[in-house]
């Protein structure tokens, strides 16, 4: 093959697969790093009596407190909510969802059922989170990410009819392999390939795309071993299978189809995935067991001040209204930037600009409980994700409770882009109706089997005002370093202060970096 420079190859990969493919290729070539966790920080020798105030009892805050106390610091955590964990959150029957400007939702899920409105899965390469889950006794189980029997649906392809992921993936591969194989015989690649290259590539396309002896992708027993059967193999004299029909190749190339296939190529979305047994908040509870005695709940921070000698934080008790002040030598602030930007914070102008420069996503997640697990019983779908071009974007099936009788809960929406703002403007009842209407395109059983539901509009959650930080290339270039450096006696931590935004791993890596910086500064002070 004609030689390519590394820059040309990386550019081509970026165009073909987006930033995730580019990042993975750069990792292999040594230009980028995987999760940088190699073990807990070796902090020790804190000056006797040194106090650290941690703002926020999410994973970043609790981990900072845990490691700093081990190093010898006196630590206290102020938390806005009545529970630890932050966005590490699970909704079960009896819970309430309190948003700004909408009626309070009471969750009515049956015992054992739950939904995770925030983080819900852990990639295998998020080593820091996996390390602390193991250390803190948080049991994990597989999260089914890719299910070949789930659905892919687009209003612009196949007349809006849902297709099995398996059929789309197999036929897309076969058609592309056929086109490439024909181009080899058409001598359009002669300048790029040697005769041996052409022969080997043609043979590779035949096997990869399940092509016949004429290099055509056709309906056959061979292709049906990958995409499934019209009539499945059985026993007895009539047990011979019938090959399945192929999808219209012109429809396969429409964006709603291939974009869904590319989703699982994203480095962060590759298997193996994990989830905590019993709900993602088991992680928050595991962290909280280590530092529960340090946390003050119902503490809404209203002002953060500092001078050369220490920090002074004013906070209000959300239940009683009582105003208090807390002092310390140092402060680790994990408050989301969407909230922190509205607090009186005494930091340098550059830091203030950085805090105010990062908007947050407005994702919606919706949990729908149905009278029975019809996706298993009727559609043979056990875990995984179906995609739709509707605003709900995704439907994800529970990776627990397989084959159980009685009600089941699935993730009925995980919105993206502007759809999150559109649906956030609806009442909770209107959101559920939207989820039912759009989900019925994938599963006609929705209406008949529906029992109850709940939703979380992250832009309306008062303690986060959004789901996670959205950095642009320009904002990172201008503000990221400032945001992650210490400002006097204050250091920020959280997923927003990492290159793994929107992931729990980013929050943990940021926290470890922040406390390492703080400890170094404290030793030098």
Convert the pLDDT of each residue in 211-244 to its tens digit.
999 999 999 998 998 888 899 888 888 888 999 9
Angle at CA 280, nearest 5°, toward 451 and 294? Answer: 125
Three-state secondary-structure class, residue 378:
coil
CATH code, domain carrying 231: 1.20.1440.240
Do 373 and 441 belong to one domain? yes
168 DSSP 8-state letter:
H
Do 277 and 404 belong to one domain? yes
Higher pLDDT, 314 or 190: 314
Tokens of 76: 């206290």
Tokens of 20: 């995730």
As a whole number, the mean pLDDT across the chain is: 91
Residue 119 and residue 107: Cα distance in Å, rounded?
A: 18
Tens of pLDDT, residue by residue over 282-332, are: 999 999 999 999 999 999 999 999 999 999 999 999 999 999 999 999 999
Element (H, E) at 505: helix 504-524
Do 451 and 486 belong to one domain? no
Tokens of 428: 């909770």
The verdict on residue 338 lying in a domain is yes
Give buried/exposed letters for 249-282 (b at 16+ CB in 10 A, else e): eebbeeebbbebbebeebbbbbeebbbbebbbbb
The verdict on residue 38 lying in a domain is no
User: pLDDT at residue 4 above 70?
Assistant: no
Instruction: Give the pLDDT confidence score for residue 268 in this predicted structure.
Output: 86
Residue 438 and residue 200: Cα distance in Å, rounded?
A: 46
Question: Do residues 277 and 29 touch, judged by C-beta distance below 8 A?
Answer: no
Tens of pLDDT, residue by residue over 465-506, are: 999 999 999 999 999 999 999 999 999 999 999 999 999 999
The verdict on residue 290 lying in a domain is no
The verdict on residue 292 lying in a domain is no
Closest listed residue to residue 51, CA positions, set 68, 67, 34, 32: 68
Three-state secondary-structure class, residue 421:
helix
Do 277 and 387 belong to one domain? yes
Residue 265 and residue 270: Cα distance in Å, rounded?
A: 6
The verdict on residue 291 lying in a domain is no
Please tell me the number of Cα atoms within 13 Å of 241 on its side-chain side: 16
Do 341 and 485 belong to one domain? yes
Residue 34's pLDDT band, with cuts at 50, 70 and 90, is low
Question: Do residues 284 and 156 touch, judged by C-beta distance below 8 A?
Answer: no
Give the total number of structural domains in the chain: 4
Residue 190's pLDDT band, with cuts at 50, 70 and 90, is confident
User: pLDDT at residue 124 above 90?
Assistant: yes
Residue 30's pLDDT band, with cuts at 50, 70 and 90, is very low
Q: How far is CA 370 from CA 22, 95, 397, 507, in A?
A: 41, 18, 12, 34
Q: How far is CA 173 from CA 59, 156, 170, 261, 312, in A?
A: 41, 20, 5, 10, 61
User: pLDDT at residue 98 above 50?
Assistant: yes
Tens of pLDDT, residue by residue over 8-17, are: 444 544 444 4
Three-state secondary-structure class, residue 429:
helix
Length of the chain: 525
CATH code, domain carrying 374: 3.90.660.10
Do 276 and 394 belong to one domain? yes
Residue 170 and residue 153: Cα distance in Å, rounded?
A: 16
172: left (phi over 0), alpha (psi -120 to 50) or beta: alpha
Do 162 and 230 belong to one domain? yes
Instruction: Give the pLDDT confidence score for residue 12 in this predicted structure.
Output: 45
Closest listed residue to residue 145, CA positions, set 275, 278, 271: 271
Task: Tell me which residue range forms the domain holding 23.
Answer: 1-33
Do 73 and 134 belong to one domain? no
User: pLDDT at residue 96 above 80?
Assistant: yes
Tens of pLDDT, residue by residue over 126-147, are: 999 999 999 999 999 999 999 9
Residue 242 and residue 235: Cα distance in Å, rounded?
A: 13
pTM, two decimal places: 0.89
Going through 237-354 in order, the beta strands assigned E by DSSP cover 242-243, 273-276, 295-296, 299-307, 310-317, 323-328, 330-333, 344-345
Do 117 and 56 belong to one domain? no
Residue 35's pLDDT band, with cuts at 50, 70 and 90, is low
The verdict on residue 399 lying in a domain is yes
The verdict on residue 39 lying in a domain is no
Do 115 and 232 belong to one domain? no
Do 341 and 488 belong to one domain? yes
The verdict on residue 125 lying in a domain is yes
Which stretch, 31-40, 59-68, 224-233, has highest mean pLDDT?
59-68
Going through 278-392 in order, the beta strands assigned E by DSSP cover 295-296, 299-307, 310-317, 323-328, 330-333, 344-345, 364-370, 384-388
Do 142 and 158 belong to one domain? no
Which residue carries 């054992």 as its tokens?
A: 112
Question: Do residues 74 and 290 touch, judged by C-beta distance below 8 A?
Answer: no
CATH code, domain carrying 74: 3.50.50.60
Residue 326 and residue 367: Cα distance in Å, rounded?
A: 39
């Amino acid at each position: 093959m004609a030689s390519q420079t590394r820059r040309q190859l990386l550019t081509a990969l970026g165009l073909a697969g987006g930033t995730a493919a580019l990042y993975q290729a750069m990792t292999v070539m040594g230009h980028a790093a995987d999760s940088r966790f190699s073990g807990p920080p070796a902090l020790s020798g804190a000056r006797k009596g040194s106090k650290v105030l941690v703002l926020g009892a999410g994973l970043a805050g609790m981990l900072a407190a845990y490691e700093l106390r081990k190093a010898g610091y006196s630590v206290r955590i102020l938390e806005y909510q009545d529970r630890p964990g932050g966005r590490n959150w699970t909704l079960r029957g009896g819970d309430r969802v309190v948003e700004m400007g909408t009626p309070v939702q009471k969750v009515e899920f049956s015992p054992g059922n739950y939904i995770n409105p925030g983080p819900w899965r852990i990639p295998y390469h998020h080593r820091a989170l996996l390390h602390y889950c193991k250390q803190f006794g948080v049991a994990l189980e597989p999260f089914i990410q890719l299910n070949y029997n789930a659905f892919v649906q687009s209003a612009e392809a196949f007349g809006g009819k849902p297709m099995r992921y398996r059929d789309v993936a197999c036929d897309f591969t076969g058609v592309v392999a056929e086109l490439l194989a024909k181009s080899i015989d058409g001598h359009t690649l002669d300048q790029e390939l040697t005769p041996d290259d052409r022969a080997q590539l043609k043979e590779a396309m035949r096997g990869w795309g399940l092509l016949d002896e004429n290099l055509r992708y056709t309906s056959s027993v061979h292709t049906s071993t990958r995409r499934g059967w019209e009539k499945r193999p059985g026993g007895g004299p009539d047990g011979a299978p019938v090959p399945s029909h192929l999808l219209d190749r012109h429809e396969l190339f429409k964006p709603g189809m291939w974009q869904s296939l590319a989703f699982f190529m994203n480095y962060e979305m590759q298997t193996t995935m994990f989830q905590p047994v019993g709900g993602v908040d088991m992680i928050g509870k595991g962290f909280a067991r280590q530092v529960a005695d340090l946390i003050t709940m119902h503490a809404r921070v209203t002002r953060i001040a500092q001078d050369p000698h220490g920090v002074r934080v004013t906070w209000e008790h959300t239940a009683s209204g009582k105003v208090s002040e807390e002092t310390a030598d140092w402060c680790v602030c994990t408050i989301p930037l969407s909230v922190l930007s509205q607090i009186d914070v005494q930091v340098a102008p550059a830091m203030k600009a950085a805090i105010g420069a990062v908007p947050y996503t407005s994702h919606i997640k919706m949990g729908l409980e149905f009278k029975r697990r019809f996706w298993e019983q009727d559609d043979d779908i056990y875990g995984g994700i179906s995609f739709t071009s509707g605003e709900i974007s995704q439907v994800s099936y529970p990776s627990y409770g397989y084959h159980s009788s009685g009600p089941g809960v699935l993730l009925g929406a995980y919105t993206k882009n502007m759809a999150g703002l559109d649906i956030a403007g609806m009442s909770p009842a209107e959101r559920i109706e939207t989820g039912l209407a759009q989900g019925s395109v994938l599963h006609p059983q929705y209406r008949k089997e529906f029992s109850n539901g709940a939703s979380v509009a992250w832009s309306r959650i008062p303690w986060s005002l959004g789901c996670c930080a959205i950095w642009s290339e320009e904002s990172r270039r201008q503000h990221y370093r400032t945001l992650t450096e210490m400002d006097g006696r204050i250091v920020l931590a959280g997923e927003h202060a990492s290159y793994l935004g929107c992931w729990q791993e980013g929050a943990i890596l940021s926290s470890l970096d922040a406390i390492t910086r703080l400890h170094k500064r404290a030793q030098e002070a």
